[in-house]
């Protein structure tokens, strides 16, 4: 079954989604944490307390040695922490070392199947292709997912495809149809997935008719 992660650092959104019983994990990045206006450590502590699943926390260094140190620190915080490393050649060096130590790495800022191949070969547990940002610049993001799912399937690689930069519910359906392992969605996309106007209309009619039933 496709796993659903929430792409947010907003605790209220995470708490609400978790209460629906549909939340498998959380992805964060510096932009999402900055949006909360809260201290990074407080945000992380709250997320770790709320969700028992993979929680991606991103390193902010750009040199392999520093990324490795930062990654080790992050991984020590909790067993659920997945270290998010940027898809650069320095990032690949860090992925190699951290994954050999048994630390799960999510490779972020992936925009091509070739980048995904290299990240998986270096030992990443997840690759995160950013489909919305590709769509935004006129390149079909879902095509990259199609290629990566096919390639990983050809070789039975133990690296999961985590579809990121999701903009709307159709992205989720297409990714699941392709057999992507995980889709990380903003909370507004999750809400749209849950709703349908015909559900609202149908519910209203049931409730109105219930008033007409003699009691
Ligand atoms: C998730 O891991 C990414 O950080 C996120 O999906 C990026 O999404 P954006 O393109 O909406 O910023």
pLDDT tens figures, 162-193: 999 999 999 999 999 999 999 999 999 999 99
Distance from C-alpha of 212 to C-alpha of 215, rounded to nearest angstrom: 9
Q: What is the mean pLDDT of residues 37-62?
A: 98
Which residue among 30, 34, 132, 190 is best mutated to probe the pocket of ligand 1, counting the most ligand atoms within 8 A of its Cβ? 132
- Per-position DSSP letters for 43-55, written without gaps between them: HHHHHHHH--S-E
For the residues 92-114, what does the mean pLDDT come to?
Answer: 98
Per-residue confidence (pLDDT) for residue 64, from 0 to 100: 98
Above 90 in pLDDT, residue 201? Answer: yes
Residue 58's φ and ψ, nearest 5 degrees, are -95, 140
Backbone dihedral region for residue 55 (phi beyond 0: left; psi -120 to 50: alpha; all else: beta):
beta
DSSP 19: H
User: Closest Cα to atom 11, ligand 1: which residue?
Assistant: 165
Write out the E strands in 104-152.
105-110, 126-129
Confidence of residue 41 (pLDDT cuts 50, 70, 90): very high
3-state SS, residue 106: strand
**Is there a catalytic annotation at residue 84?**
yes
Angle between helix 169-178 and helix 187-194 axes, rounded to 10 deg: 80
| Identified catalytic residue from 39, 79, 84, 212 | 84
pLDDT of 195 = 97
Give the mean pLDDT of 68-93: 98
What percentage of the chain has pLDDT greater than the value 90? 99
Q: Which helix (H) or strand (E) holds 84?
A: strand 81-86
Instruction: Compute the average pLDDT of residues 108-132.
Output: 98
Burial per residue of 14-47, b for 16 or more beta-carbon CB atoms within 10 angstroms, e otherwise: beebbeeeebbbbbbbeebbeebeeeeeebbebb
| Helices 40-50 and 11-19, packing angle to 10 deg | 10
What domains does the chain contain, in order, with CATH numbers? 3-212 (3.20.20.70)
Mean pLDDT on 94-117: 98
Q: What is the mean pLDDT of the chain?
A: 98
pLDDT of res. 156 = 85
């Amino acid at each position: 079954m496709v796993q659903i992660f929430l792409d947010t650092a907003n605790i209220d959104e995470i708490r609400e989604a978790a209460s629906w019983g549909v939340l498998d994990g959380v992805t964060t990045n510096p932009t999402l944490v900055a949006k909360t206006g809260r201290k990074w450590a407080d945000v992380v502590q709250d997320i770790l307390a709320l969700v028992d699943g993979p929680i991606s926390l991103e390193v902010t260094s750009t040199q392999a040695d520093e990324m490795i140190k930062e990654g080790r620190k992050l991984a020590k915080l909790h067993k659920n922490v997945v270290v998010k490393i940027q898809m650069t050649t320095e990032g690949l060096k860090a992925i190699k070392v951290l994954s050999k130590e048994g630390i799960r790495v999510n490779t972020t800022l992936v925009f091509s199947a070739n980048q995904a191949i290299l990240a998986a070969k270096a030992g990443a547990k997840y690759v995160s292709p950013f489909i919305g940002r590709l769509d935004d610049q006129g390149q079909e993001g879902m095509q990259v997912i199609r290629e990566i799912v096919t390639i990983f399937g050809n070789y039975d690689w133990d690296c999961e495809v985590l579809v990121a930069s999701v903009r709307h519910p159709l992205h989720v359906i297409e990714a699941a149809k392709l057999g992507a392992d995980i889709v990380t969605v903003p909370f507004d996309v999750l809400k749209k997935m849950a709703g349908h106007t015909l559900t609202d209309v149908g519910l209203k009619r049931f409730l109105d008719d219930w008033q007409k039933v003699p009691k």
